[in-house]
Amino acid sequence: WLPIGDKLLDELKTHFLTIKNFPDLTKASTILEATSREEFYDFLCDRFSVHSYSSLYDVLPLANITDIFTTNIDDLINRIYESSNTKYINTTTNEGTPYGSRSVVNYSPVHGCVRFPSKGFIFSKTKLSSAYTNQRDDWTNLRNTIRSKPIIFWGWSFDDADVIQALYSGRNTINENDMKWILLRNPKDYEITFYETLGFKIIIGDT
């Protein structure tokens, strides 16, 4: 399993004693970026490189998916599509322009990926606040995608300011797309109300 949020912070605190008193992942990451960047990145690459996964994920290459955007830094998607004989990944953050081929899935890990550590990761407070400005190509691809294509938000809680800015600022926002769904696991009533107010159709389930 791959840690997120508080679980990741707990693991980092065990490995990096300098952040043992930090209650917030983004602030702790800011310190590690500044003081122990190489060791911090080595830790992330080791922890988030996927060596095995459930075979249930192998259904994804069979679906008509054209684009995947993620704020995760693991390489699960890469692993899944490497096992496919019919689809392959074009990592737009590394290889550039999206492709329109039926055999290609354009993949945008907007906060970085362990496959390309030299490009950096976006965990720290400062990087999150400037990501939208510094990664125009990724966000342009996202905005072009959300204008007209059906889209599913899967395992995302609307906490990442850079993604929210890409979705809702300027012209051609996600509000214009009524073909949008969000997958929720054991949602509270207020969560359903919140996402329905934003125009999402609700899927209740888990991965």
- Whether pTM exceeds 0.85: no
> What is the phi/psi pair of residue 104, to 5°?
-110, 135
Q: How many C-beta atoms lie closer than 10 Å to residue 153's C-beta?
A: 19
pLDDT in tens, 80-94: 999 888 898 988 876
3 state DSSP class of 106: strand
pLDDT in tens, 194-204: 889 888 899 99
Instruction: Please check the confidence at residue 131 and state whether its pLDDT lies above 80.
Output: no
Instruction: Please check the confidence at residue 147 and state whether its pLDDT lies above 70.
Output: yes
pLDDT confidence of residue 171:
64
Q: Looking at residue 175, what DSSP letter applies?
A: G
pLDDT in tens, 8-43: 999 999 999 999 999 988 889 989 989 999 999 999
Burial letters for 52-88: b for 16+ Cβ neighbours within 10 Å, e otherwise?
Answer: eeeeebeebbeeeeebbbbbbbbbbbbbbbeeeeebe
Confidence band of 169 (pLDDT split at 50, 70, 90): low
**Averaged over 42-54, what is the pLDDT?**
95
> What is the residue type of 63?
A
pLDDT confidence of residue 161:
64
pLDDT confidence of residue 138:
63
**Averaged over 40-51, what is the pLDDT?**
95
**Closest to 155 in 3D by CA, of 47, 28, 79, 57:** 57
Residue 141 CB partners (closer than 8 Å, separation 6+): 67, 69, 92, 98, 106, 108
